[in-house]
Amino acid sequence: MVNFFARKTLAAVAALALLPSALPQDSPQKPAEEAPPTIQVEVNLVNILAAVRNKSGGLVSNLTKDDFTLFEDGKQQEIKYFTRETDLPLTIGLLVDVSASQRNLIDIERQAAYQFFSQVLRKKDEAFLISFGEDAELLQDFTGSPRLLQAGLQRLQVNSGVGGIGPGPVPTAGQPRGTILYDAVYLAANDRLTQEVGRKAIVLITDGMDEGSRLKIEEAIRAAQKADAVIYSIYYVDPSAYYGMGYFGGVTDSYLRRMSDETGGRVFRVDRKHPLPDAFKELQDEMRSQYAIGYKPINDNRDGSFRRVELRTTDHSLKVQARKGYYAPEK
């Protein structure tokens, strides 16, 4: 049985208000036989998901094992498992920012996310839904049903403790919590995805601002890396939430870019020329054009250390998008 909410985890993110009523009492693990051999959990097996793009930014999906070379801490490794990613099980955690700055975007996010789930989820795929603002709420646990995910999306609502006339996204001195982005990422990775097998992705819809997380960005990234989860960030900003506050210049996707880059994902920017449904369509295409690569590292010490990984293609004109490293298991 997966230990979804261990005491030490709740202590680390005690401020996250996941509603007890939303939590399953006896959620069974997915049967192990559903996982193809390339993603079986082995102590010494490291799995890398990669997307490859050409000079024009187009996805390249026809490469073979011999087109790649892999290095760990500068030492070349033997690629033992290789497959083009089309049908391996996929688990997606969708995290939606419902802080005050996203008030005007929630309806659009709700519709686009439902369309995404309807198109991307296949027979053995599952997804869960978490909203986050001043706290986090599990709106739908693991399911392969777009209908249940739609019901969860209908429960999205603004969650902000900022008071006053015309509340904005920046917390006041008396309300230091506003958007617990890093806590939510940690929660999704550590409590939902760690024990899952297959491809695992965290999809964020947010303007990238964190206000009040108990955990730091480094801890969120570490949790995602240890869960073998890729973070995809959809950078969605409502300018009207910031203009007039002298704060818009501080809104940036740099923190999202850091989380995505370190875990092998990318940032999708939403604007008038590139609406949210288009960003979801690009994400869907990427998820279905990945390579799954597995290797047993030469360094088999179980010391919990961080190992830097670099995946290259023999064609140097191609750009590889993959996670930058992993944490070795501990004794």
Per-residue pLDDT tens for 44-81?
A: 789 999 999 999 999 999 999 999 999 999 999 999 99
Q: Is residue 23 part of a domain?
A: no
Measured distance between the N- and C-terminal CA atoms of the chain, rounded to whole angstroms: 21
Which structural domain range is residue 312 located in?
44-86+290-327
Burial 40-51 (b: 16+ CB within 10 A, else e): eeeeeebbbbbb
- Residue 186 resides in a domain: yes
DSSP β-bridge partners for residue 179: 211
- The answer to which of 41-55, 127-141, 163-177 has the lowest mean pLDDT is 163-177
Residues 100 and 210 both lie in one domain: yes
Distance CA 233, CA 16 (A): 21
Amino acid at the residue 173: A
Residue 14 placed within a domain:
no
In a 13 Å sphere around the CA of 51, the CA atoms on its Cβ side amount to 23
132 and 182 housed in the same domain: yes
The pLDDT of residue 197? 87
Look at residue 12 and tell me if it is in a domain.
Answer: no
pLDDT exceeds 50 at position 285:
yes
Q: What is the pLDDT of residue 323?
A: 95
| Count of domains observed in the chain | 2
Residue 237 lies in a domain: yes
- Residue 11 is inside which H or E element, if any? helix 7-12
Identify whether 30 is part of a domain: no
- Please tell me whether residues 243 and 197 are part of one structural domain: yes
The answer, yes or no, to whether residue 173 has pLDDT greater than 80, is no
Enter the pTM of the model: 0.82
pLDDT tens digit sequence for 91-123 = 999 999 999 999 999 999 999 999 999 999 988
Same domain, 230 and 268: yes
Rounded Cα gap, residues 264 and 248, in angstroms: 28
Cα angle 68-71-74, degrees, rounded to a multiple of 5 = 145
The DSSP bridge partners found for residue 23 are none
Check whether residue 269 and residue 298 sit in a common domain: no
176 and 105 share a domain?
A: yes
Asked if 231 and 283 sit in the same domain, the reply is: yes
148 and 271 share one domain: yes
Residues 153 and 243 in one domain: yes
Cα-Cα-Cα-Cα dihedral sign, residues 210, 279, 247, 104 = negative
In a domain, 79, yes or no: yes
Is residue 73 one of the residues assigned to a domain? yes
User: Which pLDDT belongs to residue 178?
Assistant: 77
200 shares a domain with 318: no
CATH number of the domain encompassing residue 315: 2.60.40
Instruction: Assess whether 227 and 113 both reside in one domain.
Output: yes
Work out the burial of residue 298: count CB atoms within 10 Å of its CB; fewer than 13 is exposed, 13-18 middle, 19 or more buried. Answer: exposed
Same domain (yes/no): 145, 208: yes
DSSP 79: E
